[in-house]
Amino acid sequence: MSRIADAPSIEELNEQFADSSIAARFALIEEQFGGEVIASTSAGAQAVVMLHLLSKHAPRIPIIFIDTGYHFPETYRYLDQLTARMTLNIEVYNPAMTAARQEALNGKLWEQGEEGLQKYGLINKVEPMNRALTEHRASAWISGLRRSQSQDRGALGFFTRQARTTKIHPILDWCDDDVENYIYLHSLPRHPLLERGYVSIGDWHSTSPLEAGKRAEDTRFGGVKRECGLHEESQLADYQI
């Protein structure tokens, strides 16, 4: 939480967010956390919405892009396109261990079941994000998670605690139509892989196009899991986000 002594509780913040406009939500974030907040982006399928909102309402907030070394080429080019168009304070963080070294020592972790995926998440996502939070001395972290994205996210609150960090989800209650309407209203560019049937975009080796009879969350990690590690409490044993 914020260091302000009389700061409202998580429950009180959730209540204030529930009936607030998006502008009021960002104003509340600034009021409560000031310079102690950072954001993150995957530059994925719908990330343009949160990036545009940050550009409009909080352009000075650092936005962390974790470069695992395994993003699609289209993702790298897309983020460059968005950065050129908007006022975005993007900071790129890389894992401490290079992709080449990881594969030499561990093989292809994404092919080693749930245990391999957990280790992959810790090395490539959790460790660099934890480093970003530490280096920025951030007590709060803005994420673009939405309840409608998966069953696991359905019970999330606008504000949650994840170890030492307050997680903030400004568009948690937005449905897919809200996202699409916002993109259309502001004429925002879409991720190029959407045209090829991708609906949830992460690393190239763990992302597949949507097929008939599948849910969007089944297109990540072969359906073994949905989260990459950043938003899982089980991933916090080694790195305290």
Q: What is the CATH number of the domain that holds 209?
A: 3.40.50.620
Rounded to two decimals, the pTM is: 0.88
Q: Is residue 58 part of a domain?
A: yes
Tell me what pLDDT residue 148 has: 76
C-alpha span between 38 and 139 (Å, rounded): 8
Q: Is residue 3 part of a domain?
A: no
Check whether 215 has a pLDDT greater than 60.
yes
Helix (H, G, I), strand (E, B) or coil at 211: coil
Per the structure, the count of domains in the chain is: 1
pLDDT in tens, 108-163: 999 999 999 999 999 999 999 999 999 999 999 999 999 877 666 667 899 998 87
Confidence of residue 235 (pLDDT cuts 50, 70, 90): very low
Give Cβ neighbours of residue 236 (< 8 Å, ≥ 6 apart).
Answer: 126, 162, 163
Cα dihedral sign for 126, 128, 132, 137? positive
Q: Which domain holds residue 54?
A: 10-234
C-alpha span between 234 and 42 (Å, rounded): 21
More confident: 232 or 156 = 156
Give Cβ neighbours of residue 57 (< 8 Å, ≥ 6 apart).
Answer: 22, 23, 26, 27
Check whether 5 has a pLDDT greater than 60.
no
Which residue matches tokens 């967010």?
A: 17
Query: Is 175 one of the catalytic residues?
Result: no
Q: Is residue 103 part of a domain?
A: yes
Catalytic residue, chosen from 117, 172, 228, 241, is: 228
Q: Is residue 241 part of a domain?
A: no
Q: Is residue 4 part of a domain?
A: no
Check whether 20 has a pLDDT greater than 90.
yes
Q: Is residue 5 part of a domain?
A: no
